[in-house]
């Protein structure tokens, strides 16, 4: 059996890999009959040897290879080798047709596959499962299904709040649903419970505001801001959170310019986990000049309110348009 898992949705793809691991029985022999190979460096002979090896006290072997098809498709420039490197794979489709019945080949591709005749021939030999990031409607359905599997009874408005606040970060959603399950003790989960129990709901929307501003998506920035206000935050409170995030970005840029290793940045700016991850992602998208310009506009907004020229809300709405 040949299966290709393609897509950037790491959580759903990883769960599917776990399901395939369970197909090797008995369970206690699964690890010894599962082989992981790096598709960027594996040779044809190494792969065929793994696939041809007789299962040890089990019904089959599972061989998992990540990145091979993109390598053969010429997308992964780091691993694109010499002509010899590609020539040895020319008969690969024919070799796959003669796999022993005990061999299961799982090909994982986290980047989209290029379209070419060679890869199409390989894909036709197996089944392809795609794991693209979920759209909003599918995300709501996923949260509902996940909640049901956990035995959670959750209001529709609570599900919507999680989806709107966290987005398609499924691993984070799964973690928070497990926390909520412990907290709920079988009772109905409401929107208020999510606000109380999901500590990054506000922080996530701050990220959405700043991300949207950086990318010039004013409408998205206003929508994320409205979500924060509906959670009880004031316009001035949102401004302070944006200012805080800008300070983190300034510090991150400064430290990276000094060649401080990425892994040490969190210690210097007192951030960890998801907030640190998002800050480092943002740092790549924005220039120092843009950060300073945004900071100047935040200062002007504060002055407008203090001098009574505009209300908090009026000044905030103007600020979002100025931050583009």
> Could you tell me the CATH number of the domain that includes residue 304?
1.20.272.10
Task: Identify whether residues 155 and 250 lie together within a single domain.
Answer: no
Among 130, 162, 184, identify where a domain stops.
130
Q: With respect to residue 240, please indicate whether it lies within any of the assigned structural domains.
A: yes
- Which long-range contacts (C-beta less than 8 Å, at least 24 apart) are formed by 29-35? 29/55, 29/56, 29/57, 29/58, 30/58, 30/62, 32/56, 32/58, 33/58, 33/60, 33/61, 33/62, 34/61, 34/62, 34/63, 34/64, 35/61, 35/62, 35/63, 35/64
Cβ neighbours for 316, distance < 8 A, ≥ 6 positions apart? 225, 235, 236, 238, 239, 301
Q: With respect to residue 27, please indicate whether it lies within any of the assigned structural domains.
A: yes
Q: With respect to residue 18, please indicate whether it lies within any of the assigned structural domains.
A: yes
Q: Mind listing the pLDDT tens digit for each residue in 23-52?
A: 888 888 888 989 999 998 999 989 999 998
Task: Identify whether residues 114 and 140 lie together within a single domain.
Answer: no
- What pLDDT is stored for residue 80 in this prediction? 43
Task: Identify whether residues 78 and 37 lie together within a single domain.
Answer: yes
Task: Identify whether residues 157 and 125 lie together within a single domain.
Answer: no
Among 111, 130, 149, identify where a domain stops.
130
Structure confidence at residue 191 as a pLDDT band (50, 70, 90): confident
Whole-number percent of the chain with pLDDT over 70? 93
Classify the C-alpha dihedral 137-143-149-152 as positive or negative. negative
Is the pLDDT confidence value at 160 over 60?
yes
Between 228 and 91, the higher pLDDT residue? 91
Is the pLDDT confidence value at 67 over 70?
yes
Task: Identify whether residues 141 and 125 lie together within a single domain.
Answer: no
Q: Which domain holds residue 314?
A: 213-322
Distance between CA atoms of residues 107 and 51, nearest Å: 13
Q: With respect to residue 205, please indicate whether it lies within any of the assigned structural domains.
A: no
Q: Which of 273, 276, 216 is nearest to 251 (CA)?
A: 276
Range of weakest confidence among 11-20, 193-202, 219-228, 312-321: 193-202
Task: Identify whether residues 222 and 173 lie together within a single domain.
Answer: no
Structure confidence at residue 292 as a pLDDT band (50, 70, 90): confident
Indicate the helix (H) or strand (E) that contains 123.
Answer: helix 117-123
Q: With respect to residue 23, please indicate whether it lies within any of the assigned structural domains.
A: yes
CATH of the domain at 69: 3.40.50.300
Structural domain tally of the chain?
Answer: 3
């Amino acid at each position: 059996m040949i299966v290709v898992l393609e897509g950037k949705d790491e959580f759903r793809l990883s769960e599917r890999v776990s399901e395939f691991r369970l197909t090797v029985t008995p369970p206690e022999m699964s690890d010894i009959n599962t082989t992981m190979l790096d598709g960027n460096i594996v040779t044809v002979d190494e792969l065929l040897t793994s696939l041809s090896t007789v299962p040890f006290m089990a019904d089959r072997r599972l061989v998992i290879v990540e990145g091979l098809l993109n390598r053969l498709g010429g997308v992964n420039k780091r691993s694109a080798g010499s002509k010899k490197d590609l020539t040895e794979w020319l008969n690969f489709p024919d070799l796959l047709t003669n796999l022993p019945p005990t061999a299961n080949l799982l090909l994982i591709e986290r980047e989209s596959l290029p379209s070419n005749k060679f890869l199409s021939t390989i894909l036709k030999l197996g089944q392809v499962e795609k794991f693209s990031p979920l759209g909003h409607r599918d995300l709501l359905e996923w949260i509902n299904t996940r909640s049901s599997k956990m035995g959670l009874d959750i209001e529709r408005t609570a599900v919507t709040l999680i989806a709107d606040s966290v987005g398609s970060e499924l691993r984070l959603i799964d973690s928070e649903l497990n926390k909520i399950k412990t907290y709920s003790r079988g009772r109905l989960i409401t929107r208020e419970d999510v606000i109380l129990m999901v500590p990054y709901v506000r922080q996530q929307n701050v990220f959405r505001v700043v991300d949207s501003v950086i990318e010039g998506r004013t409408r998205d920035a206003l929508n994320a801001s409205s979500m924060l206000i509906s959670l009880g935050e004031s316009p001035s409170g949102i401004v302070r959170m944006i200012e805080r995030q800008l300070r983190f970005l300034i510090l991150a840029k400064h430290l990276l310019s000094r060649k401080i290793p990425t892994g040490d940045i969190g210690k210097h700016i007192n951030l960890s986990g998801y907030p640190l991850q998002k800050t480092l992602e943002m740092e790549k998208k924005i220039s120092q000049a843009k950060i300073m310009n945004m900071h100047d506009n935040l200062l002007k907004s504060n002055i407008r309110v203090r001098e009574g020229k505009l209300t908090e809300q009026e000044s905030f709405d103007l600020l979002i348009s100025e931050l583009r």
